[in-house]
Amino acid sequence: MLHQYQTQTKCLVALDSIIFGFDGQELKLLLVNRGIEDEHHTWSLMGGWVQPDESLEEASTRILYELTSLTDIYLEQLHTFGNPKRDPVERTVSVAYFALINVEDYDNKISKNFEAQWFSMQELPQLLFDHSAMVQMAIEHLRYKASQHPIGFELLPEKFTIPQLQKLYEAIFGTELDKRNFSRKLLSTHLLIKLDEKQKGFSKKGAYYYKIDEEKYKKQFNTFLNFLPNGNG
C-alpha cells in the first residue's frame, strides 16, 4: 500500500480567491500585483498554498484574512482547476473560492504586503494563468445564486435603501430591473427591517434606510427560490 503512494508524482495545491465588492455603483473585483517572474505587469487573484495541516476551508479563510483582515464573510468553494499546463512553473491544482465583501468594511484594512486594487468588472486588466476563466465562472455562479437566494446583501453596508439594493442587483446581472417589481418582490420576503431614518442629499423626499433581519436571513437563506424577477419582468 505504501509503495503506491511513494511512486506517485507529487503536485502543489493552491487556493485562489475571487473577491467581489460593491462600491454603490459598480460590481468590482479585488486583484493583486505580485510580480511573479516575467508577469510583473499582470494582475492576479489573491492566492496562496494549502499548508500540510490545513483543510481547504481553513486555507481559504486564512488567505483571505491575510489580505483583507476580515473574518466571518461569505466564502464559497467554486471549482477545481487542474489543467496540467495551467501553471508553467510547476504542476499545480488550484481550488477556487469566491467571496463577497462590503467595500466599506474593507477600506484601510488591506495588508501592506500586497499591491492590491479594486477593478470594475467592465474594465478588468490582463490576468495571470487561467484566472480569467475563474472570474467568468464566478460571475456566472454569483448571478445564479443571487437569483435564487438573497446573497447580494453580503455586499451591502449595515443599512441601505431600496434604490441602493436595486443598483447592486442591476450591477450583478448587467441589466435594468423594473423599480416597482423589484421593490414588491424584495419586501415580500420579509427579510428587511425599515428604519426611522432617511438617506439625505439624493432627493427631496429621501429614501428610507433598511437593515437585514439577521435571524430571518440565517434561518430562511436556503428557502428562497426565484428571489428576483428576470430583467424588467
DSSP letters along 141-199, please? HHHHHHHHS-GGGGGS-SSEEHHHHHHHHHHHHTS---HHHHHHHHHTTT-EEEEEEE-
Give the model's confidence band at 61: pLDDT under 50 very low, under 70 low, under 90 confident, else very high.
very high
Q: Are 13 and 92 in contact (CB under 8 A)?
A: yes
| pLDDT at residue 106 tops 80 | no
CATH topology classification for 2-129: Nucleoside Triphosphate Pyrophosphohydrolase (3.90.79)
Give the percent of the chain with pLDDT over 90: 52
Q: Tell me the mean pLDDT in the region 38-62.
A: 88
**pLDDT tens-digit profile of 116-136?**
889 999 999 999 999 999 999
Give the percent of the chain with pLDDT over 70: 87
| pLDDT at residue 37 tops 60 | no
pLDDT of residue 29: 95
Give the model's confidence band at 98: pLDDT under 50 very low, under 70 low, under 90 confident, else very high.
very high
pLDDT of residue 155: 93
Q: Tell me the mean pLDDT in the region 29-42.
A: 72
pLDDT of residue 114: 72
| pLDDT at residue 150 tops 90 | no
**Domain 151-223 CATH class label:** mainly alpha
Strands 116-120 and 192-198 come out as unpaired
pLDDT of residue 112: 66
pLDDT of residue 233: 41
**pLDDT tens-digit profile of 63-74?**
989 888 888 889
Give the model's confidence band at 201: pLDDT under 50 very low, under 70 low, under 90 confident, else very high.
low
- Which residue ranges make up each domain of the chain? 2-129, 151-223
pLDDT of residue 143: 93
pLDDT of residue 224: 66
Cα separation of 36 and 47, whole Å?
12
Sign of CA dihedral 58, 60, 61, 67: positive
| pLDDT at residue 231 tops 50 | no
Higher pLDDT, 40 or 88: 88
**pLDDT tens-digit profile of 168-184?**
999 999 999 888 888 88
CA 233 to chain centre: 26
